[in-house]
Amino acid sequence: MEKRESVWNVQSSMPHFEKLNGSIKTDVLIIGGGMAGVLCAYFLQKAGVDYVLVEGKKICCGVTQNTTAKISAAHGLIYNELLHQAGQERAKRYLEANLKAVQSFGELCRGIDCDYKEVTSYVYSLDNRKKLEDEADALRHLGWDAAILETPKLPMQTMGAVCMEHQAQFHPLKFAAKIAQGLTIYEDTFVKEFKDHTAVTESGNITYRKVIFATHFPIDNKYGLYFLKMYQHRSYVIALENAEDVEGIYIDENRKGMSFRNYKDLLFLGGGSHRTGKKGCCWQELKEAAHQYYPEASIKYAWAAQDCMTLDHIPYIGVYGKHMPDGFVATGFNKWGMTSSMIAAHILTDQILEKENSYGEIFAPSRSIWKLQLAVNGLEAVFNLLTPSKPRCPHLGCALKWNPAERTWDCPCHGSRFDKEGRLLDNPANGDLKKSS
C-alpha cells in the first residue's frame, strides 16, 4: 500500500518557529507561510523592511508540500490565448515575468541542496496538432524561439509537444527550509479576525501598517470579491518506482490530462483533476494509467493538491481591493504555484517599497472580472447556497459534499475542506465545522 503523503514531506526536515506570545507591532504583516509568504519575507528582509510572518500551522505544510514543483513558464497553451484576449504587450509581459521567476529560482538555488535541476518543459496534445502550432506561433510572436517536438519518452502516442528549454524542477521543502532560516516567523499563530490595522490571534494582537495575504485563498471577504473571482481545483499525484525516466516535465494541453516528471528514481504521474466539491476520477484514473503504461512499476506515494483558479488564468497579485489600499494579496496561481510565488514576492516587495514594478499591472487584482467563468462561479454558489442539505461550510454557508476518495467534506463554492470529524483542512473557511452542522 502506498503512503498517502507527498514525497517532499517524507524526505525533508523543516525548521520550526515559536508561537506568538503577546502583542507586537510591525510595518508589514505577512499572513500565510507557504512558498509565496516565505519568499515575500525573504525579499522584504533583504530590503531591510520590518516585517513579521505568521502561519496558522507549520510553514509549507499546506499547498506547498503537495506541489509537483515544476518551475516553468510553460503553463499549458496559455500564450496563444493571452495574445488574442489580452494583447501582445500583456502576453509578452506575462511570459517575461514567468521567465524571470524561473531565473530567480535558479539564482537562489545555487549553493542550496534542494535537488535543483534544469530541464526542458513540454506541453503535449494527444489529438490536436493545430493547437500546438498556434501556441508555437504565439510564442515566436512574443520573442521566444518555440519548437514542436515529438515525445518518444512518453508512454503513449501524442501529436507532439511545444517545448521550452531551460526550465527547472526542485525539492520545494528543502529549498524553503534553507531560505526560511533567520526569517521572523511565528508558527501555530492563527489569525481569527481584523480590527483596524490589527490582526487578532489567540496568543496576541499584531498591529501593522501594511498586510500581505499569502493564505492561498484570501481570508477577508469584505473586499476584492475573491469568492466570486476564483474557485478551487483538486488534482492528484502518484509516485512510481521502476518506471522510465521521461527526461523533462510534461503537461497535457487538455486540463483534464496527465502530467509527468521524474524525481530521482521516482516518476510522478499527475491528473484525475476536478473542481473541489465535484466528482472526479481522483487517484483511480492515475492507477489505471500506471497499470496500462508502466505494468512493472509500483506506487510508493500518493497525494493530492488544491489550486485556486482565476477568471482569466492569470494570478491576482497586488492591492487587495479598492477600499483596502494597505492590503496586498497573492492568490489564484492556477496550478503554477512555484513561478507564481516568485512573481508575487518580487511584485509585492516592490509595492511595499513603493517602487514601480513593470509586471504589476498584468497581475493586478483590480482588472476586469467580466468573464464567462464569473457566471459559472456565481451559479455554483447560488445552487449550493439553496441546497438544503447539511453540513454547511462556515465560510459563506454553502452545502458541503462528501469526497469518498479522500474521506473529506468539500465545498463546491469556494473550496474549503474538512476531515470527517469536521476539522478544517483547506481555507477560505477560518475554522472547524460546528457540531450542529
Distance of CA 419 to the CA centre of its chain: 21
Asked if the domains 16-67+174-228+313-363 and 372-426 are classified in one and the same CATH topology, the answer is no
For residue 94, the surrounding DSSP H or E stretch is helix 88-109
pLDDT reading at 10 higher than 70: yes
Q: What is the pLDDT of residues 62-78, one digit of tens each?
A: 999 999 999 999 999 99
Q: What is the pLDDT of residues 309-321, one digit of tens each?
A: 999 999 999 999 9
Q: What is the DSSP letter of 313?
A: S
Query: C-alpha cell of 421?
Result: 470529524
Residues 2-18 have a mean pLDDT of 89
Residue ranges of domains in the chain: 16-67+174-228+313-363, 372-426
Query: C-alpha cell of 29?
Result: 504583516
Q: At 92, is the secondary structure helix, strand, or coil?
A: helix
Distance CA 169, CA 154 (A): 18
Distance CA 58, CA 293 (A): 37
User: What's the pLDDT at 437?
Assistant: 46
pLDDT reading at 399 higher than 90: yes
**Closest of 345, 347, 329, 110 to residue 227, by C-alpha:** 329
Q: What is the pLDDT of residues 169-198, one digit of tens each?
A: 999 999 999 999 999 999 999 999 999 899
pLDDT reading at 419 higher than 50: yes
pLDDT reading at 413 higher than 60: yes
User: What's the pLDDT at 217?
Assistant: 96
Distance CA 30, CA 350 (A): 15
- Choose the CATH number for 372-426 among 2.102.10.10, 1.10.10.10, 3.30.70.260, 3.10.150.10: 2.102.10.10
**Omega into 295 within 30° of 0, i.e. cis?**
no
Distance CA 68, CA 268 (A): 8
> Are 19 and 33 contacting, i.e. CB atoms less than 8 angstroms apart?
no
Q: Phi and psi (nearest 5°) for 409? A: -95, 120
For residue 211, the surrounding DSSP H or E stretch is strand 204-213
- Choose the CATH number for 16-67+174-228+313-363 among 3.50.50.60, 3.20.20.370, 3.40.50.2300, 3.30.1860.10: 3.50.50.60
Q: What share of the chain is helix, strand, coil (3-state, %, to 5)?
A: 30, 30, 45
173-211 burial, b at 16+ Cβ within 10 Å, e below that, comes to bbbbbebbeebbbbbbbbbeebeeeebebeeeebebebb
Long-range contacts of 82-90 (CB under 8 A, 24+ apart): 82/138, 82/314, 83/138, 83/141, 83/142, 85/312, 86/312, 88/141, 88/142, 90/362
- Name the pTM for this structure: 0.95
